[in-house]
């Protein structure tokens, strides 16, 4: 069986406070977009082995303990009867770019294994299990626009209609260490919550909505800040870095033609509509 995990962008991101457990409370709006990886899972019926074999293609993924393996192991602990499987993960979403591709892969693998083997945990149970994989995973179980709080696991579905717009995704291929960015961030309560700002016309987001990581990341990597400037110069009604970067997106009117002079090694993708 095959699924197609999609990416997300953050429409604004505020880091509110550091918690006693070392994590940070935040608020953001997750918005799903149709840039997709591919995950295929095949049951290995004629084998004496136990566990999962993972094949990988597309963008290179560092490390051996992939989140898809973690998803399988998480279910295996709860449902020991799950047979051995072979999984193929094809990465089309840039890795480590703030688009949540890894979290999407883990969440979709969790849902597909649940469907394949009739495990039938509720959506709420799957969300709780997803939170064990990563803070963004519960969002991909819902996979609709959500206002998010806590570490990103507290989710509230909201209406965000961007059907009149297209999205330009630009990834300059710079790896940003999210942990390092959190160490440098200075939390603050914003004057206006994203819950209110997201209800304003998109044309007003530029002056009201922000991503707290941008100041730090742009200072370290000015070329990422330049991407945002170029998107605005090209006519974006709103542009922002997603997550802790390094991907930057611009929201444009569908009727507007766009051309850019980014370096040839940049990943650039035009998308229309939200993933469902």
* Domain ranges, ordered by start, for the chain: 2-157, 165-272
The answer on pLDDT for 259 being more than 80 is yes
Catalytically annotated residue among 105, 136, 210, 269: 136
Read off the tokens for 256. 């507007």
pLDDT value of position 48: 59
Residue 65 pLDDT grade (very low, low, confident, very high; cuts 50, 70, 90): confident
The answer on pLDDT for 63 being more than 80 is no
Q: Same CATH fold, 165-272 and 2-157?
A: no
The answer on pLDDT for 209 being more than 80 is yes
Point out the least confidently predicted range of 42-46, 134-138, 247-251, 261-265. Answer: 42-46
Q: Looking at the domain that runs over 2-157, which CATH code has it been given? A: 3.30.230.10
Read off the tokens for 185. 């961030």
In DSSP terms, 166 is beta-bridged to 252, 272
Residue 34 pLDDT grade (very low, low, confident, very high; cuts 50, 70, 90): very high
Mean pLDDT value across the chain: 93
Q: Does a cis peptide bond (omega within 30 degrees of 0) precede residue 246?
A: yes
pLDDT cut 70: percent of the chain above it: 98
> Could you give the CA distance from residue 176 to residue 145 in angstroms, rounded to a whole number?
25
pLDDT value of position 64: 66
Catalytic (active site) residue 45? no
Q: Looking at the domain that runs over 165-272, which CATH code has it been given? A: 3.30.70.890
Closest CA to 104 of 59, 134, 149, 82: 134
What digits encode the pLDDT tens for the residues 69-114?
999 999 999 999 999 999 999 999 999 899 999 999 999 999 999 9
Cα-based angle 273, 32, 132 (whole degrees, multiple of 5): 165
> Could you give the CA distance from residue 119 to residue 131 in angstroms, rounded to a whole number?
18
Catalytic (active site) residue 46? no
> Could you give the CA distance from residue 7 to residue 2 in angstroms, rounded to a whole number?
17
pLDDT value of position 96: 84
Whole-number Cα distances in Å, 265 to 167, 175, 199, 268: 19, 14, 36, 9
Task: Tell me the pTM.
Answer: 0.94
What digits encode the pLDDT tens for the residues 118-163?
998 898 999 999 999 988 999 999 999 999 999 888 999 999 999 9
Read off the tokens for 87. 């999984």
Contact 154, 131 (CB under 8 A): no
């Amino acid at each position: 069986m095959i699924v197609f995990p999609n990416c997300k962008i953050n429409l604004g991101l505020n880091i509110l406070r550091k918690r006693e457990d070392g994590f940070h409370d935040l608020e953001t709006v997750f918005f799903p977009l149709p840039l997709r990886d591919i995950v295929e899972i095949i049951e290995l019926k004629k084998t004496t082995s136990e566990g999962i074999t993972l094949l990988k293609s597309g963008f290179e993924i560092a490390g051996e303990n992939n989140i898809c393996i973690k998803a399988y192991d998480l279910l295996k602990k709860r449902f020991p009867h799950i047979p051995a499987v072979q999984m193929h993960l094809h990465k089309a979403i840039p890795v480590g770019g703030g688009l949540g591709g890894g979290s999407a892969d883990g969440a979709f693998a969790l849902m597909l294994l649940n469907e394949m083997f009739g495990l039938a945990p509720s959506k709420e149970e799957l969300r709780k299990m997803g939170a064990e994989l990563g803070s963004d995973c519960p969002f991909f179980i819902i996979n609709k626009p959500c206002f998010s709080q806590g570490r990103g696991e507290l989710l509230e579905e909201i209406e965000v209609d961007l059907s009149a717009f297209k999205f330009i995704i630009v990834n300059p291929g710079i790896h940003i260490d999210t942990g390092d960015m959190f160490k440098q961030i200075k939390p603050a309560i914003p004057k206006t919550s994203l819950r209110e700002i997201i209800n304003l016309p998109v044309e007003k987001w530029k002056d009201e909505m922000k991503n707290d990581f941008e100041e730090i990341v742009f200072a370290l990597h000015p070329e990422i800040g330049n991407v945002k400037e170029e998107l605005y110069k090209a006519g974006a009604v709103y542009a922002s870095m997603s997550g802790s970067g390094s991907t930057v997106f611009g929201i444009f009117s569908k009727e507007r033609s766009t051309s850019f002079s980014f370096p040839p090694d940049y990943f650039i993708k035009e998308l229309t509509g939200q993933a469902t």
